[in-house]
Each structure stands twice: as C-alpha cells, then as structure tokens.
Amino acid sequence: RCAGRVEVLRAHLWGSVCDDTWGMREARALCAHLGCGPALEAPGAARYGRGEGPIWLDDVTCTGEERDFFRCAHRTWGEHNCHHGEDAGVVCAGEPHLALSPHLRPGPHLSVPAGNSSSGEVRLAAGPHLCAGRVEVLHEGRWGTVCDRGWDLSDAQV
C-alpha cells in the first residue's frame, strides 16, 4: 500500500503537513493526487514518524473530490500552530509501482527501504507523480542521484 507521512515540496525543501483538520476528505484528495487508489486511513499524531524539516501546511481542508491536492484550502505556507508530533499521514489502497519517466519535473516523491543499502533509503524525486522520477539514494545523510550508465528496464523493475 501507499502509506506514510505526508510531505510536500516548497522552495526545494520537503516539509510536513499538520494533522489539524486532517481527515478522510483530505486523504482522499491526496491519494487521488498521487494516483495511489482510494484512501483507507488518515492517521495523525505522527504515526509514520516525526518530520525533520519545516511544517509547510496546516488546517488543510478538502472536499474529497479534488484530483489535485494543492487545490485544497490551507493556511499560508509555513504558517502553523503545530509541532512534528502532529504530522499527518495517509494510507491509500493502491500499490506503489516504481517506474522511470523521461520527462522529469517537480512533483511528489516516494521513499522506500533499500534492502542492502547501508543508508537504507531509495526515492524517486522530481517526477510527474509519486511513482515516477529520478532515482536517488540516501548516503551518509545526503540524497544523491544514480548514474544512468548501464541502467535499463530490468534495473527499474527491481
């Protein structure tokens, strides 16, 4: 399932979303935005861990019909009365399917544990949606790209 802490990208910085007013309507809008199927849960209270960056959004209010999460109402970016113990989460019914996209642009990212990686995470960044983008790995606390030399579809399907 697509599940985890909700984070959004602003000014090249990932930040969390506060769980004030966070519920199933907001989760439905986010799952639709990410292409991850219907929303199953809208957990709060940092169920998926506390974020470390800024808290970008608070008092997010959606109708639940939005296909673009950023059409939901919210306080001014960065304005909040929260702490990271109130980070919002989401559980969507869909399965993430990692894929490469030749047309990279800013968008959501997906981080997954990397089996034999000493740093433990791989993510897709700057793609058109959650399941497409540039492959990056976390090494010694910093994200870096993966060289495409020798990269083919069999590598992408791992």
pLDDT in tens, 2-31: 788 888 888 888 888 998 899 999 998 988
* pTM to 2 decimal places: 0.60
| Same fold across 2-92 and 110-156 | yes
Share of the chain above pLDDT 70, in %: 68
Amino acid at the residue 2: C
What is the fold, at CATH topology level, of the domain defined by 2-92?
Mac-2 Binding Protein (3.10.250)
b or e along 45-80 (b: 16 or more beta carbons within 10 Å of the residue's beta carbon)? ebbbeebeebbbbbbbebeeebeebeebebbeeeeb
Judged by average pLDDT, the poorest of 3-17, 43-57, 61-75, 106-120 is 106-120
- Pairing mode, strands 2-5 and 7-10: unpaired
CATH architecture of 110-156: Roll (3.10)
| Highest mean pLDDT pick, 30-39, 96-105, 148-157 | 30-39
Judged by average pLDDT, the poorest of 67-71, 92-96, 121-125 is 121-125
Residue boundaries of the structural domains of the chain: 2-92, 110-156
pLDDT classification of 117: cutoffs 50, 70, 90: very low
